[in-house]
Structure 1
């Protein structure tokens, strides 16, 4: 005579009901944390792209002497915004040899100007450190 089993073999057909409810709780927590992360990334992205009322770009620069660099600076901003852009000139060694804050007021939404940065020695590069409003 054959023996008939009434119980299922343990572990063969998935987890018991208690394990499934724990998995569902973990899935809910993971979904909530994932949604919060997406909202946070969206918020930072929006304020990075739209929240900046002033942005600048160096079009070109030219060393005019051993103690001066001319920088072609283009600034885009809201028409009523005021602010400052900071330029820095570097020597071949990487040392900072000149720095200038360029201030602008309200009126135009695009400012395109040539700025002279005085240097303490010959500069090989010039960079825009950033623009701030206010």
Structure 2
């Protein structure tokens, strides 16, 4: 009589269950670490957006076009001691840029409501606030 073999030959039918368990555990730990890092990054971006963002921002309220200029009504929100500038551009009916200028705001107020004049090279049909930047 021959002896009956109880175990399968090693390495012939795949890895053992303990190796699979170790690989699963490593994947779970890696997933937890990466998920935690991602969540921390999202919290940091959210905090920066809400609290730590720009201390100088503007909004274009209205504009009125003439033949050679555009009157732009702006509202600036900033820290009272902050200074900076806002860039405004204007386009003609065909989309060509006919005016662009930076307007400085050095007043010691936290909210400024002002009308500025942007000179143009042709009749403008729009005014656009490109952005505001603190010094």
TM-score (norm 1): 0.82
Separation (CA, whole Å) in 2 of partners of 1:17 and 1:106: 71
CA shift for structure 1 position 79: 0.9
CA shift for structure 1 position 129: 0.6
Write out the 4+ residue segments of structure 1 that deviate beyond 6 Å after TM superposition. none
Unaligned residue ranges in structure 2 (runs of 5+): 1-5, 9-15
Matches within 5 A, 1:7-86: 16-50=17-51, 51-63=53-65, 65-86=66-87
Separation (CA, whole Å) in 2 of partners of 1:95 and 1:49: 36
Separation (CA, whole Å) in 2 of partners of 1:130 and 1:76: 13
TM-score (norm 2): 0.82
**Compared with structure 1, are the counterparts of its residues 23 and 35 closer, same or farther at alpha carbon in structure 2 (3 Å cutoff)?**
same
Q: Which moved more, 1:31-40 or 1:68-77?
A: 31-40
CA shift for structure 1 position 120: 0.6
